[in-house]
A and B are shown apart, each in its own frame.
Chain A
Amino acid sequence: MLDLTYETPKPKIIAGATHDWELVIGMEVHAQIASNAKLFSGASTEFGNEPNSNVAFVDAAMPGMLPVINEFCIEQAVRTGLGLAAEINLWSAFDRKNYFYPDLPQGYQISQLYHPIVGEGEVMVDMEPGISRLVRIERIHIEQDAGKSIHDMDPNMSFVDLNRTGVALMEIVSQPDIRGPEEAAAYMVKLRQILRYLGTCDGNMQNGNLRADVNVSICLPGQYEKFIETNDFAHLGTRCEIKNMNSMRFIQAAIEVEARRQITIVEAGGEVNQETRLYDPDKGETRSMRSKEEAHDYRYFPDPDLLPLEIEQSWVEEIASSLPELPDEKKARFMKDFLLSDYDATVLTAELDSAAYFEAVANRRDGKLSANWVINELFGRLKKDDKDITQSPVTPYQLGGIIDLIEHGDINGKIAKDLFEIVYIQGGDPAKIVQDRGMKQLTDTSAIEAAVDKVILDNPDQVEKAKANPKLVGWFVGQVMKATGGKANPKAVNELIAFKLRL
């Protein structure tokens, strides 16, 4: 791990009618493994295809069909484990989780209950500069996704789409280390970032490729510390699991309302039932998914169609040696090598593509200046057009050219912004544009001096005022800039005016 010094954030406190309450949150994140083929079949995983077009016989659980492990999915899970500094289990096994549902053709989901492929790891969740929560990962296991039941296409019938059936998922299970809704969302953000860096999950929450089940309980201040000390869950409240959330906003909101619901129950002398709940964003509430009588007994047992999964340490090491630089390392390096602030480094490393773009720009240039241009100008402009960094019409080479012109004193900041807009809209080589359009700033002091002299001569009243109030010097600067078409070097203008007015 990196040697990062940080402070732990304070847990969120919610004031109830009688007490203050703290939250304890654990998350089970389902991340679709980035892979072209499914976990146990060769069928495509492409999103948005015609219903039931990505279906192999085994996905439809046709009689006599058998699963065969897709090795690439295993590699992706191992890579994820390594990226979360987790223990890799060289021996793992698949189990069947049995339940009936039309979008689960086999009548069981192949998962890993007893022997997951990845053991304990950790994620550093950044809350504010210097303040981070270390969330421990309990395990990661591999499992099949289910299909989709469609109930709203016909009044009398339901339809099933098996395109998603059998797609590989990683279930990343955290310890109950998350202490508030904001931390939960930040954990998701960080996890998503790491997965995207690793290339093991595209993190597309809208398509459901990353979604979370959130376990929420409440406790009185001090109880959590007792739990940490003893690892005895009796110190904590009864948890409820809010299922299947695919937006950071919903995660936060759901935790908030669920915590309040539990507080209301407990403060009224009631008891929270351990159950699975769904968040309804329209009504802003969570509600029970199934009653106790409907509770499933999943009858887990080892899948006899699959031999235990044994992998070699050397293979794990091979994967480890190919791991990319991860967000924490990259951020630290940016802060050190480019002298960036924590904030700038965080923004620039949020996405691998942004970081790569920035590095290309900042290479042998001023880091801070490059960061400002990438974050403020480029990101701002892209956002206006609803584009992401990969769609930027301005290449790092072009932006670097603009920055070079600034650094060499060829153009000033204002002209640079105009130039950027020209490059953004029309493209072209910045240096050539400046040359062709005469945008070079005046560094010839005699020309600037002439302009300054003219402004002073034409405005004796202003000169008097400025002498009395030196703050008015800005007015002169503005006039000179106007007279020179904005091309005068602002520093030189300032110095000359101050000199001429004897300020």
Chain B
Amino acid sequence: MSDLNKLTLSAARDLLRKKDVTSVELTEACLQAKSAGMALNAFVHDTSEVALEQAKAADNRLAEGDASSMCGIPIGIKDLFCTKGVPSQAASKILDGFRPEYESTVSQKLFDGGAVMVGKLNMDEFAMGSSNETSIYGDVVNPWKVDQRNLTPGGSSGGSAAAVAGDLCLAATGTDTGGSIRQPAAFTGIVGIKPTYGRCSRWGVVAFASSLDQAGPMTKSVRDAAIMLETMCGHDPKDSTSADLAVPNFEACLTGDIKSKKIAIPKEYRMDGMSEEIEKLWAEGTEMLRDAGAEIVGVSLPHTKYALPAYYVIAPAEASSNLARYDGVRFGRRANISAGDGITEMYEKTRAEGFGPEVQRRIMIGTYVLSAGFYDAYYNRARRVRTLIKKDFDDVFAKGVDAILTPATPSAAFSLGDMATMDPVQMYLNDVFTVTVNLAGLPGISIPAGLDAQGLPLGLQLIGKPWKEGDLLNTAYALEKSVGFVEKPEKWW
């Protein structure tokens, strides 16, 4: 069988169960695709040897009748996840050489389920960025191209998105603090879900903004996302914010039946200057859901416009504190210090050399908004806004709404380098449709919904009720069927 790397996770699973293919074959196909796909710069740490060992073990398990859905599936792991004995650097220089002695709960669950790690995936440094241009490993290149221009895969889970879209692995883990799963999924024509805050354990995932960070799968189909999410999530006593709730069989939720489901279209997401293409895509998606039997209602989420500023206060505030531990004392990279330098110089040099400009910018913003005299004006106000945004959603769901449909991003993927000379706020605007979901702790999924005039993928976002990922996935599944998105990037690498 050829092109095993192009299989969806669910198709591969079925073949593995039927013994039509082995995990070693799948893994070797992905490792070859990975080697051939160096130009995408999606993978950063090679774990081929680990992968083949894991694949052999998975084949043994499969031979013994193990029917775990993830058993034998080659996946990529975002560099933000700590993986035991394998470099885990959050794409930062400051964690140079760091190999954790522990395995993140999410990756452990995947490995316990028999998943195979093809490699660690590139990302924006400390998950801070929307274009995967802040990584110490360099930019990730989107498999989709226009006019020979290199495009961004989005960020921060850009490596995950490019690897899945480019068929370098069957699926990947991502993390999403303000849209870092959903935006790159939209930019690369794949599916990405951020579950309800507390669904996936954060233990062992390098923290960016603790109250917003969630892990989730990035896959080639909604079914794949359902399968992988089920393995990734579940209560973890090691994370106090992890919910002690049973994990449903998400795949079993995929009936495609959304008759009489109430889908809301929030008017505040129709932004000034929104492109006609996005507008059209959104309208088409709405009609498809209506045609599938859903009831469409218009709703208002009045505090939406304050979400982005609130997010860019809260996330940096938490980050400034979370990143204080990177001080050169215990692990990672310590700057060379000169004779006579004291501890302050060591901190200053280590952090100045170890953190890239975007991370430094956010640490400074976060430090500023938490400082005496500004705390109430910024941080506390942002927290109040957050409460109001959450209430907006609560009110809408209280009216019987099952899901909310919005665009995933304000545009298609842009060229690498485009944002380099821009005001950083231009970059932050990428998250305008996604940050509200993190602030409210809700599940959100991005699915490919069409191509723009240049032939680049565009995504739609569905936002669900807390802990109702099954319903959300089913609505996404119905939309996916209606859209019938089958386009793939033309292989140039």
Instruction: Identify the A interface with B (CB < 8 A).
Output: 57, 60-69, 96, 98, 100-102, 105-108, 158, 160, 297, 299-301, 304-307
The interface residues of chain A lying within 8 Å CB-to-CB of B202 are 64, 66
* Alpha-carbon distance between A105 and B370 when the two chains are bound, in angstroms: 20
A368 to chain B minimum Cβ distance, whole angstroms, is 56
The interface residues of chain B lying within 8 Å CB-to-CB of A102 are 327, 329, 343
Contacts A57-B101, A63-B98, A63-B100; A68 near B238 (Cβ below 8 A): yes
The interface residues of chain A lying within 8 Å CB-to-CB of B453 are none
Contacts A107-B321, A158-B343, A299-B370; A62 near B375 (Cβ below 8 A): no
* Alpha-carbon distance between A107 and B202 when the two chains are bound, in angstroms: 19
The interface residues of chain B lying within 8 Å CB-to-CB of A98 are 320-321, 324, 370
Instruction: Identify the B interface with A (CB < 8 A).
Output: 81-82, 88, 90, 95, 98, 100-102, 104, 202-207, 209-211, 237-241, 317-318, 320-321, 323-325, 327, 329-331, 343, 347, 367, 370-372, 375, 379
A-B Cβ contacts below 8 A, count: 101
The interface residues of chain A lying within 8 Å CB-to-CB of B238 are 66, 68
Decide: A305 and B241 in contact? CB cutoff 8 A: yes
The interface residues of chain B lying within 8 Å CB-to-CB of A69 are 240
* Alpha-carbon distance between A321 and B321 when the two chains are bound, in angstroms: 41
The interface residues of chain A lying within 8 Å CB-to-CB of B321 are 96, 98, 107-108, 299, 301
The interface residues of chain A lying within 8 Å CB-to-CB of B82 are 62-64
Give the 5 A-B CB pairs with smallest separation, nearest first: A107-B324, A304-B210, A299-B370, A304-B211, A61-B325
* Alpha-carbon distance between A67 and B241 when the two chains are bound, in angstroms: 10
Question: Can you name 8 A-B pairs with beta carbons within 8 Å?
Answer: A62-B102, A64-B207, A66-B203, A67-B240, A68-B240, A106-B324, A107-B321, A304-B318
Decide: A61 and B330 in contact? CB cutoff 8 A: yes
Which has the most chain A C-beta neighbours within 10 Å: B104, B207, B237, B323? B207
* Alpha-carbon distance between A63 and B343 when the two chains are bound, in angstroms: 21
* Alpha-carbon distance between A306 and B207 when the two chains are bound, in angstroms: 14
16 further A-B pairs in the complex, CB-CB below 8 A; given A299-B321, A307-B240: A57-B101, A61-B330, A63-B82, A63-B90, A64-B82, A64-B207, A66-B202, A66-B203, A96-B321, A98-B321, A100-B347, A102-B327, A301-B317, A305-B207, A305-B240, A306-B240
* Alpha-carbon distance between A273 and B327 when the two chains are bound, in angstroms: 32
When the two chains form the complex, which single residue of A61, A64, A301 contacts B379, counting CB atoms closer than 8 Å?
Answer: A301
When the two chains form the complex, which single residue of B211, B324, B331 contacts A100, counting CB atoms closer than 8 Å?
Answer: B324
Tell me the nearest residue of chain A to B236, going by C-beta: A66
Tell me the nearest residue of chain A to B332, going by C-beta: A63
The interface residues of chain B lying within 8 Å CB-to-CB of A306 are 240-241
Which has the most chain A C-beta neighbours within 10 Å: B323, B324, B367? B324
B85 to chain A minimum Cβ distance, whole angstroms, is 14
Tell me the nearest residue of chain A to B237, going by C-beta: A68
Tell me the nearest residue of chain B to A102, going by C-beta: B329
A112 to chain B minimum Cβ distance, whole angstroms, is 15
Decide: A304 and B325 in contact? CB cutoff 8 A: no
When the two chains form the complex, which single residue of A66, A297, A299 contacts B239, counting CB atoms closer than 8 Å?
Answer: A66
The interface residues of chain B lying within 8 Å CB-to-CB of A96 are 321
